Homo-oligomer: A and B are copies of this chain.
Amino acid sequence: MSDQLDILRSLAKKTDSKIVMVVLDGVGGLPLTVNGDSELAAARTPNLDALAAQSQLGQVELVGAGITPGSGPGHLSLFGYDPLKYVVGRGALSAVGIGVKLEAGDVAVRGNFATLGADRVVQDRRAGRPSDAKNAEIVARLRAAMPDIDGTPVEIYTESEHRFVVVFRAAGGAALGANLSDVDPQATGVPPLSAQAHDAASARTAELVNTFVARAEAALAGEPQVNGVLFRGYSDVPHFPSFDDAYGLRAACIASYPMYKGLASLVGMDVLEVQGEEDALDGKVQALTQHWAEYDFFYFHVKKTDSTGEDGDFAAKVKKIELFDTLLPGLLALNPDVLAIVGDHSTPSKLATHSWHPVPLLIRSEYGRKDVATRYTEEEAQKGSLGLRRGTDVMPLLLANALKLNKYGA
């Protein structure tokens, strides 16, 4: 029983208590100058400050020291799934990221549009980085050319620039394997490779991939730049234990962006409908309130704290933190037994990208230790009673504070 999920499964008990986990995406930041204020420290957050004064604080590293988490591993860690063990393949993550629901037996593949010259030689592995509009136009032509391949349903989705995703559907037939070689030669001056299956279950997938390549080249023959496709990264659908199975929790996801809904559905959460545009914070609180009675656990996602950090816009990130602060009374009005506020990684505007820095963790429950931390900031979190922990510690701490775990051993 070395897997934490196995241990928690054996200890989990059902109770009426309710847990809300707020994930402020990329909330951890950095000061712009040595020992200056981070975005969280610079923000005026009276509601969050009042909450922090009554809560336990600490910090989490989602994957490990010095490791910058992607959104997938960051979230899986918060959900209690060791992100080094529970890996979502690149193809599946791309599909999940654009809101495609995968079923058992399907295979998702990441594709690049490429420019091919004479004798199919790869001239540009990114087809001159076409516009998103051009990408969409090409995808539409491929869809028209290939609704299926010899009866196997084929779905083609635009991502951005040269990137697209293909899903081959098992559709009730034999499960498709994802163990095959790449089409992308990862070099120019040579033709695309032919996909080779590495096991029997993947033989049909290799056929589908090679047929897709040939038909795409035929359909795009007149194009000067976007006239070839390269595949890299095949994934079958990850089978993760569900929140219900591992924790005995009826869990719901309240998020606006496809990637986060997809990750939540991979661990068996119900994805609730949220009204409103973009981050739709009011709609999220509304959804939480409406469905309060139906679930034991709510994952509540806030996106813009990350996006503004990615933009390198310190002031805008501060504003998004302050916006969340105005929302907090609506959450507290529901009086969850356990409320957590955390991030899936840091996104300091100074770096304008995800970073490895630990993320502040706040837990409010009846059963907290005396805690001297007074604000939800990186600096105060360092003084908190929860210490510096792995992200996978968050779920057991929330379950414990909700009195949903039996004792281990007599």
**Closest CB in chain B relative to A309 CB, distance in Å:** 14
Q: Are A38 and B370 in contact (CB under 8 A)?
A: yes
Establish whether residues B84 and A2, one from each chain, have CB atoms under 8 Å apart when the complex forms.
Answer: yes
A348 to B63, CA, bound (A): 32
State which of B97, B355, B379, B398 has its C-beta within 8 Å of the C-beta of A367.
B355
What is the oligomeric copy number?
2
- A67 interface hit (Cβ, 8 Å): yes
State whether A34 touches B387 (Cβ < 8 A): no
Q: Is the CB of B409 within 8 A of A368?
A: no
Most buried by B among A67, A367, A399: A67
Distance A348 CA – B93 CA, assembled complex (angstroms):
44
Choose the segment among A17-25, A138-146, A327-335, A400-408 that binds chain B (4+ C-beta atoms closer than 8 Å).
A400-408
Secondary structure at chain A's binding surface: helix, strand, loop or mixed?
loop
Cα(A395)–Cα(B389), bound, Å:
18
A84 and B356 in contact, given A34-B368, A69-B409 (Cβ under 8 angstroms): no
Contact of A72 among B36, B368, B410 (CB under 8 A): B410
Distance in Å: Cβ of A382 to nearest Cβ of chain B: 5
A364-410 CB contacts (< 8 Å) to partner B: 367-372, 378-379, 382, 385, 387-390, 393, 395-401, 405-410
CB distance from A74 to the nearest CB of B (A): 8
- A369 and B357 contact, CB distance less than 8 A: yes
Output the residue of A7, A41, A94, A357 with the most chain B CB within 10 A.
A357
* A376 to B: closest C-beta gap in Å: 14
Q: Are B369 and A71 in touch, CB under 8 angstroms?
A: no
* Interface status of A161 (Cβ within 8 A of chain B): no
Number of interface residues of A (CB under 8 A): 72
**B407, A69: Cβ atoms under 8 Å?**
yes
B35 touches A400 (CB 8 A): no
Residues of B within 8 A of A393 (CB): 64-66
Contact of A66 among B1, B53, B65, B396 (CB under 8 A): B396
The answer on a CB contact under 8 Å between B408 and A1 is: no
If A70-B407, A357-B369 are given as contacts, then 9 extra A-B residue pairs at C-beta distance below 8 Å, sorted by A number, are A30-B368, A36-B370, A37-B370, A66-B395, A73-B408, A93-B410, A94-B410, A353-B407, A387-B387
Q: List 20 A-B contacts (CB under 8 A).
A: A4-B64, A35-B370, A36-B370, A38-B370, A64-B396, A66-B393, A66-B399, A66-B400, A67-B405, A67-B408, A69-B409, A83-B408, A94-B410, A350-B367, A354-B407, A356-B397, A369-B379, A369-B382, A370-B378, A388-B388
Interface, chain A (partner B; CB < 8 A): 1-2, 4, 7, 11, 30-31, 34-38, 41, 53-54, 59, 63-73, 83-84, 87-88, 90, 93-94, 97, 348, 350-351, 353-358, 367-372, 378-379, 382, 385, 387-390, 393, 395-401, 405-410
Across the A-B interface, the 10 shortest Cβ-Cβ residue pairs? A66-B396, A70-B409, A65-B393, A66-B400, A387-B388, A73-B409, A356-B400, A66-B397, A70-B410, A68-B407
